[in-house]
Structures are given as structure tokens and as C-alpha cells.
Structure 1
Amino acid sequence: MAASMRHVFRVVKACSDKFYKHTGFVNTYRTKVITECPRLILSRNYPSFANRFIPLWKVSGFAAVGMWSFFTVKKEEEDVIKKEEIVEADEDHDKNPEKHRTDIERYVKLAKMAQMKKEFDEADMYYHKALKVANNKLNNEQISKKFSTQARTYIHDAMADMALSRGQFDKAEALYKDTLKGYLETGGSKTDNAVMELTLKLSSLYAIVRKDHEARLGLTTVIDCQEEKIKTNPKADIDTYGLLGIALQTYGRYLLHHNELEKAEATFGRCEEVCSHAVGENSSQMLKVLNDLAAVQIIQTRYAQAEVTLQKALVISQAMESCDTVHAIYSNLGAISLKLSQFDIAESRCSTALKLAKQAGDDFAQKQAKHCLDKVKEARQSPPVQ
């Protein structure tokens, strides 16, 4: 199913589509794992920053489910899954090998429908039924070993995403490893984009549970592998560039969390270059990268540079037909002006942020804009420092 090339989920879709095309299992479902995971490794070491500036992940427009919202299914995918198709029965079922595959796919579709409704226990039940059916049919020689492996690989990946979203980290780790093993058993290479995508998922999981050595090793492995691919072939496909961009952004936020600000800034700078190539200048993903870069500059109290970065983001947001971060940009710009004692400018920017946040229905952004306006009022009433 098609998605805009200018949207970051185009990249995730492309990687996932290649993965499932390789394994041969129907791809009717994608996760938002990679694009959501960096939120969880953002630093909590800067409370003053958190109070005065809107962190990117608060306004990115992603749905938060528990500790990690990984498996929100896109509306377009809901249209694909039809209840009538799932419950259809075929009388000549046993005579056609394709019908034996349909049995497994039917349970998978039911599981995905339950996931969309956040009925996770029911979804887990259907996934286990699908695995049991696959195993029974393999034993009865009704499906091939290859298809059985393909089905298990697909199901394990979906179950891993769901387990991770529920905070079941040990279970998610084991399932991701099973997915990786299954993919390699089908003939995949250790340097394939699908393997790098799974490695990135595992690395992000390790970052959450504070296995820093594993997290750092995994992230740098993905980056080095993808960089080598585009070095060897500068005309590599968008999937390769896109996965590199996501890995760089994730690693940049990881470095920010560990207060490695110079490395984080350099990583975000490289991410900006890759993002421009993969999804274009005027894209929502570029706005997120620029916001991350500005965050590092703000923490380093380099407000002038941060303003330049955010102004660039503002120009991009205004060029886009729709943008869910423009109010955050105005609010952050207003906060910078406040730090520089430019009270009139700060009031104007934060007022604009409040207006746009109300239009967007973003309660958090409204609170931040109001906080900024309150700070402007306090600053004006405070006696000048002698």
C-alpha cells in the first residue's frame, strides 16, 4: 500500500515491505516502532529545558500507548482487513494448499483487528492460535517448512512489537531474536535492511532498559552498515538512506540522554543531510530533526544558533500544506526570546503558539505556550537586575 515518500513512515513501510516480500507472508500491517522509540531515550537530565521548551516528542503527533506506542495501525490498513473475509469458509479447503495458508492468515488478521482495538490479550490468543495451526499443518505436511518459517517470522515480529508496547521487555527481546533468526533461515543476509531494522528495534529496547553497551553497539552497527552501503553505492535506494536517517536520529537522542552534546549535534547534522536525501527538505521528518538539533543548541545555551535552526524549521512548516509541529516551533522560539530578554518578541511568538495549539487541539502545547506567556509577564514585573 502506498504512502507519501515525504513521510517518515514511508521509510519504515519500505523496509517492512521488503522484509515480508522476502519471507513471502502477506504484509497487511506495519509498526511505528523505529520512529517512536527515540522518545523514550530522551534525556530527563534537563528539567529546566523540559519546562521551558517543548520537546519534539510531545508534539510529534504520534500516539502514545503505555511506555511505547509501537503498533498503531494506519487507517489505510484498517480498510484492508475486512471481517467478512476473515470468517469466510471454503468447502474445498482440504484439497487446496492455498487454503491451508488462509487458515493461518485468518488468525493473523483477527489478531491485528484486536490490536487495533487495543484488546491485547485477545490479539495474543489469536497469534498463538496461528502459530499452533502453522505447526500442526507442517506436521501434517499441509504446508511447506519454508512457509511455516515465513509465517512464524511474521507472527513473532508482530508479537514482539505488541509485547514491547506493553512493557514486556524480556518477552519482546526474545521474540525479536526469534524474528531475526527466522529471517536469516529464509535466506536473508546479515546486512539486509530488514536485519538492520530489527537490530535497531533491539537497540532501542536495550536503551529503554538501560543496557547501554548493547544499545550503543547496536545503534552504531546499524549506522556503520548503512553508511557503508551508501558509500559503496551513492545511488542506493530510499530504504537504505531512510533507515540510516532513523538510526542517526535515534542515536543522536541517545547521545543527548548521556550528555554527549558535541557528538549528538554532529549526529543530528549528519541526520539532516540524510533526511534531505531520503524524504526531502519540506517534510515532517526534517522538522523533527531540526527540532532535535535546536534542542542540543538550547541546552548548550547557544540561543542564537538555536533560533536560526528553528527559523529554518518554521520556513519548512509554512511551506507544507499541513504541519502538526508549527505551534511547537513558535513556542520554542518564544522561549528563546524570553531567555534573551526580548519580551515583546517572546510574547508575540508564544501568543501565536497558543493560537495554533488551540486550532490543533494540542492541550500540552497550549500549556507550554501559556507557561511562556506567564514567564514573560513575570519578567516584565520583576525589577531590573543591577
Structure 2
Amino acid sequence: MFRLLRWRLGRTLLRAAGRRCGGCTARLLPERAGDAGPGAERLRTRGAPARGHRVLPLLAALAWFSRTAAAEEQPGEDATDEAEAEIIQLLKRAKLSIMKDEPEAAELILHDALRLAYESDNKKAITYTYDLMANLAFIRGQLENAEQLFKATMSYLLGGGMKQEDNAIVEISLKLANIYAAQNKQEFALAGYEFCISTLEGKIEREKELAEDIMSEERANTYLLLGMCLDSCARYLLFSKQLSQAQRMYEKALQICQEIQGERHPQTIVLMSDLATALDAQGHFDDAYIYMQRASDLAREINHPELHMVLSNLAAILIHRERYTQAKEIYQEALKQAELKRDEFSVQHIREELAELSRKSRLLT
């Protein structure tokens, strides 16, 4: 069947972290012969030959909500203590280096910040610095290092009295689950996703009893974090070819995103495309088309940053429904959008899909 861009599970790590790092994908899950990781294997639509057009989930780096897991533990901006003021300046410099894609410089600065935090026994600074170091390792694809740093961050948060159901703890647990998924540690990954989802669902139920009609910012963030957990779990299930389970997770995630962020939000559109992917992989081409068509309409309306990918997915589903002329038109539109975005990888991919579609059309005539 006709395929989409060969994204890897590693990109999900960036998305879950609320980050984007161009070029990091290969470091997260290098593609090489014999790679057994879940991100290295392409999904195939049921009954499809080994070569052809396939639809894979969009892994756009669109955060559900942007915040650092240990944000509540950040040192105060109005610090008068000289050591704490110096730590804050170092952390700001580290963040700037990360934004400028200078990870080596950021790492050195963070080590200086951590040393000062320990010397001054500033537990909030220690926790926050560990969290930044963990996210940096996460972004760079240093998964084992990121795992240890996230565990250290969690240990400090729990040791400081934070409850296990706190969103910050769940968010770190989600990142750990994504790391295990990328390392193909299925038992740990699924256990991590289950912990995150069940913890948040229980928390939401208890909050409903306390304030049925109130949707505070914190409560909205809890819903969105649940959606992100469902989304990450669904993607892992999809790569693991547990397709019906992935579909159910995507349906729940999409419902949450629509309710909290609205139908036109970029993340909602990504989830529509992802749900269509799960349906398409099961051979439910008509249902997949409904979701993908809606996603593409909305993506055009808001000029979605991944419009070309949504369109490419739509074209692949049209081919599965044997609508070759329409598929060619959509691929051509996707190609123009990819060229405008200067996404060379997507441009090459879409051109290959058009060439394959042309060969297929000649065989049918």
C-alpha cells in the first residue's frame, strides 16, 4: 500500500517533551539493517504488499501544553541570595543555548548550575536543573542518560512532598514510558502508560466530585496531559500493530483535545490524522477517509504547519479507495506545500509516491 514519510517512534519523544529538534530523529532511533526497535518497522495496511503507499501517524512537534515537568520547583525569579541569582542566570543561559540548538554549551552550563545548587543546598534549584538536564538528554536522543536524570528529578520531587498523582510526576512518568518504548522494552513501556492513564483518570473523577461545573487551568491541564498520555500510548500500540487498541486510545485523545482546545487546534488536526491512520491500518478505508478529509480541510483553513503531511496521508487513503485521479491531485498539492516549507525529505517522499502512482496507473490502463 502507499506509504507516508517514515517517521520513527523517537519523534514521539520530542512531541511528548514539548520540544522540536530537527535532525535529532536519527540519533533517537538510527535506521539500520536489522534494527529491531518498534520505530524501525513500517506499519502495513492489512493485506498490503511489502511495497506501496502507506499511512503513518503524523509526529508533528506540537505540544499539548508547554511547561517543564518541574516548573513548580523553579527557583524564584526575585531571589536575593547571590548563589541563587547566579544559578538563575545560568539556567537562563542554558535555555537560550537549547533554543539556539547548542546542546553541548547548554550541557556545560547546566553542570555549572547543578554544582552551585548542591554547594548552596538549594533543593528547588537542584530539582529544576536535573529536569532541564533530563529534557536536554531526551532531545539529544541520549535515552539511558535521560532515564537516569528523569528518575533523579522524580526522586527529588517525591522527596520534597509532591504526590504521586501530581501532573509533574505523571509527565515525567510519560517521558520514561516513551523512552522504554523507543528502547523496545514493551513491558516497561505499557506499564508506564497504564500508570499515567489510570492515575489521571482517577484524579479527574475525584475532581469532578469536588467541582462539577468548574474547569480551572490546572484541571484543563490534567485533561490535556491525559490526552497526551493516550496519544503516546496509541502511537506505541500502532507501531506494535495492536491496531484496535490504538484506535480506542486515539478516539479518547481526540475527544479530549476537541473538548479542551477545539476542533481547529493544530493538535486536534494531528489526532484526526492519527486516528485515520489507525483505521486505515485495519483496512477501514472509508472511515479513515472521513477523518482524514476533515483533518485536511481544517489544516487548509488554519494553514497547519504539517499541511503537506496531512495531504500526503489523504492521498494515500484515496489510493486505498482506488480514487487514483483524485489522489494524484492531492499529492501534487502536498508537493507544493512541502516545497514551500522547504521540507526536502517530504518533497523527495511525495515525488516517489507520485512516481509509484504513475507506474500503478499505467499498469491499470
Q: Same fold (TM over 0.5)?
A: yes
| 1:309 alignment partner AA | Y
> 1:280, 1:286 within 8 Å by CA — same for their partners in 2?
yes
Q: Does 1:118 align with 2:101?
A: yes
Q: Which residue of 2 aligns with 1:376?
A: 357
**Distance in 2 between residues matched to 1:218 and 1:53, nearest whole Å:** 29
Q: Which of 325, 333, 346 is the matching residue for 2:327?
A: 346
Q: Which residue of 2 aligns with 1:228?
A: 202
Q: Which of 366, 381, 385 is the matching residue for 2:347?
A: 366
| 1:113 alignment partner AA | L
Q: Does 1:262 align with 2:244?
A: yes
> 1:111, 1:127 within 8 Å by CA — same for their partners in 2?
yes
Paired residue total:
314
**Distance in 1 between residues matched to 2:294 and 2:364, nearest whole Å:** 35
Once the two structures are superposed, what CA deviation does each residue of 1:206-243 show, in whole Å capped at 9, x if it has no partner?
11122221111111111111112222334452110110
Q: Does 1:326 align with 2:327?
A: no
Using a 3 Å threshold, how does the CA distance of structure 1 residues 357 and 156 change in structure 2: closer, same or farther? same
> 2:135, 2:146 within 8 Å by CA — same for their partners in 1?
yes
Alpha-carbon RMSD: 3.0
Using a 3 Å threshold, how does the CA distance of structure 1 residues 168 and 314 change in structure 2: closer, same or farther? closer
Q: What displacement does 1:285 show?
A: 0.5
| 2:204 alignment partner AA | I
TM-score (ref. length: structure 2):
0.77
Q: Does 1:99 align with 2:82?
A: yes
Q: What displacement does 1:131 show?
A: 1.9
Once the two structures are superposed, what CA deviation does each residue of 1:64-83 show, in whole Å capped at 9, x if it has no partner?
xxxxxxx9x9xxxxxxxxxx
Q: Which of 150, 153, 165 is the matching residue for 2:127?
A: 153
SS at match of 1:233: helix
Using a 3 Å threshold, how does the CA distance of structure 1 residues 252 and 35 change in structure 2: closer, same or farther? farther
**Distance in 1 between residues matched to 2:310 and 2:91, nearest whole Å:** 41
| 1:153 alignment partner AA | T
Using a 3 Å threshold, how does the CA distance of structure 1 residues 134 and 273 change in structure 2: closer, same or farther? same
Once the two structures are superposed, what CA deviation does each residue of 1:151-186 show, in whole Å capped at 9, x if it has no partner?
000000111112223333222211111111111233
| 2:41 alignment partner AA | R
> 1:230, 1:241 within 8 Å by CA — same for their partners in 2?
yes
TM-score (ref. length: structure 1):
0.73
Q: Which of 134, 138, 141 is the matching residue for 1:167?
A: 141
Q: Which residue of 1 aligns with 2:53?
A: 52
Once the two structures are superposed, what CA deviation does each residue of 1:298-346 show, in whole Å capped at 9, x if it has no partner?
21122111111101212322332x3122222222222222233322212
Q: Which residue of 2 aligns with 1:283?
A: 265
| 2:89 alignment partner AA | R
Once the two structures are superposed, what CA deviation does each residue of 1:274-311 show, in whole Å capped at 9, x if it has no partner?
11122111111011111111111221122111111101
| 2:202 alignment partner AA | E
- Segments of 5+ residues of structure 2 without an aligned counterpart are 1-13, 30-37, 69-78, 209-213
- Segments of 5+ residues of structure 1 without an aligned counterpart are 1-30, 64-70, 74-95, 139-147
Q: What displacement does 1:57 show?
A: 3.9
**Distance in 2 between residues matched to 1:231 and 1:244, nearest whole Å:** 12
Q: Does 1:298 align with 2:298?
A: no
Q: Which of 159, 174, 178 is the matching residue for 1:185?
A: 159
Q: What displacement does 1:51 show?
A: 5.7
Range 186-195 or range 337-346, more displaced: 337-346
Once the two structures are superposed, what CA deviation does each residue of 1:324-375 show, in whole Å capped at 9, x if it has no partner?
2222222222222223332221222222222222222222332333233223
SS at match of 2:333: helix
SS at match of 1:361: coil
